[in-house]
Structures are given as structure tokens and as C-alpha cells.
């Protein structure tokens, strides 16, 4: 039975699609059968970030409408075994994304995959609500910046009240925060919120900290999820986040100045264990 993970944030441009692509690819690299599904109808971009934009023939909406079989719409990644992409429609209306239709597709995917990653659109409207509705777990992507944190907090509230798990009074959606575009130098100068501050305010376990990195843009330029670039710090940080998600206890890299990393380890390690 697959686990459904929604990648969400509320605010746009914080790295949802980058994270969905990198995290999904990272899970597949760990041998998990993973599908990444784009829920951003009308503004599809996951295919571009995953580098399969020219192979999209059918999409999620086609499957929902019965115009294509699921197998016709799933795109196998050419680099990583066990990784597939389900693109969404660029032209259809958002209302095509019906809850019943999505449920059917997800149920079918559940039989075949270990993990289903739902790449949510920005905002808190229909598309975002549909993306999170069936989630078992959530990755809340947050920049260390006031508007992003506020929106993330809002999303945490919506996950706790509007998901299917909430409506059925089941165990709540397990939410994690992933901090992206973290700049240690600016944190040291007091210009950017610290990881500890973000965690304290959102009160969620910390899945990972992705440092601000030029390699993220380079990765999207060529359509290769940044996690495949193990030379880059961002790629390594995503790999760490995946390993942490799968239960390993790993030091949080790229969060503290070199000299204090030992102290930092103890502190952040506790953060994860306490809340996980």
C-alpha cells in the first residue's frame, strides 16, 4: 500500500516542484517505486523539471476523464529505475480535477507504487486542496522569509482540518517542514531567520535544509532533478532529507558555520527525534 505525500507550501515560488522532483527521484534512488504527480492544472511544470516534457502524450486529466488509461499517461524516467511521472494538463480547466476522479487515479497508483508524490499548486484554492486531500504525509516547503512562513502555517492548519484524514477523524496527516534557499552567510549576519526559529514557529519536524545553491537553476535548465547532482550541496541536502525520511538519523548539513557544527548536530538531531 503506497504512501501519499503532498508537497505543498501555500506561497508560490518557494520550491515545491523542485522538491517534488528531487524528493521523488531520491526515493527512487533508494529503491522505492515512486510516481510524482503534477496537480498544477494549467501551469504544469513538473514535466519540465523532470526533463520529460517532450514525452507527455496523455496526462492526469485525460485519465480522470477516461480519455486514456493510466499506463498510457505514466512516463517512465530514463535515468532512475522505478521512477515515473504523471503530468497534468496545460490547457484544461482546473475544474477537471475532480475529487472523485483523483481518488480513482490515486487508488490505482497505490497498487503499483510505494510512494505517490503530489506536487501541489500554489495557493489554497481548489487545486491545492485537491492535492492535499488524500495525503498521508505532507512536506511543507518553506523559505526562511516571513510571507512564506505565514503561508506554511496556514497550510499546516488546512492539512489538519481539510484533509480526508481530518474529515474521517483518522490519524492526522504527518507533516514535515523542508526549508529551502537557506543562506548560512545571511543567517550569520542576522539578515535571515535561523532554522531553529522557523522550526519553533511552525512546530513541525525538520525534514531537511536545502542551502541556496546555483545548482538548482542549473538542474532545472537541463531538466535533471537536482538530487541527481551529488556534487552540489542542494543535491546532497535532498539526498539527506530522503534518507532522514526513510528513518536514518543524519546530521543536518549546511545549517551552521563549520566550527559549531558539532553543537548544531546535537541540537538539530534532538529536534528531529523529539517530533518524529
Applying CB under 8 A, the residues found at the interface with other proteins are 145-146, 149-150, 153-154, 157, 161, 187, 189-194, 197, 201
Q: Which is nearer to other proteins, 29 or 138 (CB)?
A: 138
Q: What are the CA-CA distances from residue 127 to residues 10, 133, 253 (Å)? A: 11, 10, 34
Task: Give the shortest CB-122-to-other proteins separation in angstroms.
Answer: 18
Task: Give the shortest CB-187-to-other proteins separation in angstroms.
Answer: 7
The answer to whether 40 and 127 have CB atoms below 8 angstroms apart is yes
Task: Give the shortest CB-146-to-other proteins separation in angstroms.
Answer: 5
At 13 the three-state DSSP class reads: coil
Burial 198-228 (b: 16+ CB within 10 A, else e): bbeebebbbbbbbbbbebbeebbeeebbbbb
Q: Which is nearer to other proteins, 126 or 194 (CB)?
A: 194
Task: Give the shortest CB-172-to-other proteins separation in angstroms.
Answer: 13
Backbone φ and ψ for 210, nearest 5 degrees, come out as -100, 120
Q: Which is nearer to other proteins, 86 or 202 (CB)?
A: 202
Cβ-based burial of 50 (10 A; exposed 0-12, middle 13-18, buried ≥19): buried
Q: Dihedral, CA atoms, 85, 242, 156, 92, nearest 10 degrees?
A: -10
Backbone φ and ψ for 162, nearest 5 degrees, come out as -115, 0
Q: Which is nearer to other proteins, 103 or 145 (CB)?
A: 145
Q: Which is nearer to other proteins, 1 or 146 (CB)?
A: 146
Q: Which is nearer to other proteins, 170 or 191 (CB)?
A: 191
Q: Which is nearer to other proteins, 108 or 153 (CB)?
A: 153
Task: Give the shortest CB-150-to-other proteins separation in angstroms.
Answer: 6
Q: What angle do CA 102, 22, 195 make, to 5 degrees?
A: 105
- The CA distance from 119 to 124, in Å, is 13
- The CA distance from 4 to 86, in Å, is 14
Task: Give the shortest CB-149-to-other proteins separation in angstroms.
Answer: 6
Q: What are the CA-CA distances from residue 132 to residues 47, 170, 183, 225 (Å)? A: 20, 15, 29, 22
Task: Give the shortest CB-156-to-other proteins separation in angstroms.
Answer: 9
Amino acid at each position: 500500500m503506497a504512501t501519499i505525500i503532498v508537497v505543498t507550501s501555500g506561497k508560490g515560488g518557494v520550491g515545491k516542484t523542485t522538491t517534488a522532483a528531487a524528493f521523488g527521484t531520491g526515493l527512487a534512488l533508494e529503491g522505492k517505486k515512486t510516481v510524482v504527480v503534477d496537480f498544477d492544472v494549467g501551469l504544469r511544470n513538473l514535466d519540465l523539471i523532470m526533463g520529460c516534457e517532450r514525452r507527455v502524450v496523455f496526462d492526469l486529466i485525460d485519465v480522470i476523464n477516461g480519455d486514456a488509461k493510466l499506463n498510457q499517461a505514466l512516463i517512465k524516467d530514463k535515468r532512475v529505475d522505478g521512477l515515473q511521472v504523471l503530468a497534468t494538463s496545460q490547457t484544461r480547466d482546473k475544474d477537471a480535477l475532480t475529487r472523485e476522479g483523483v481518488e480513482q487515479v490515486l487508488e490505482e497508483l497505490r497498487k503499483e507504487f510505494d510512494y505517490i508524490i503530489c506536487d501541489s499548486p500554489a495557493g489554497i484554492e481548489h487545486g491545492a486542496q485537491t492535492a492535499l486531500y488524500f495525503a498521508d504525509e505532507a512536506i511543507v516547503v518553506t523559505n526562511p522569509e516571513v510571507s512564506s512562513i505565514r503561508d506554511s502555517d496556514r497550510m499546516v492548519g488546512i492539512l489538519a482540518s481539510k484533509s480526508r484524514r481530518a474529515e474521517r477523524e483518522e490519524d492526522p496527516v504527518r507533516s514535515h517542514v523542508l526549508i529551502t534557499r537557506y543562506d548560512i552567510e545571511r543567517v550569520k549576519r542576522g539578515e535571515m531567520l535561523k532554522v531553529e526559529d522557523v522550526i519553533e514557529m511552525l512546530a513541525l519536524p525538520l525534514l531537511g535544509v536545502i542551502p541556496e545553491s546555483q545548482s538548482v537553476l542549473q538542474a532545472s535548465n537541463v531538466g535533471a532533478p537536482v538530487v541527481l547532482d551529488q556534487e552540489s550541496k542542494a543535491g546532497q541536502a535532498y539526498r539527506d532529507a530522503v534518507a532522514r525520511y526513510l528513518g536514518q538519523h543524519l546530521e543536518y548539513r549546511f545549517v551552521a558555520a563549520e566550527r559549531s557544527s558539532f553543537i548544531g548536530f546535537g541540537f538539530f538531531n534532538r529536534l528531529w527525534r523529539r517530533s518524529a
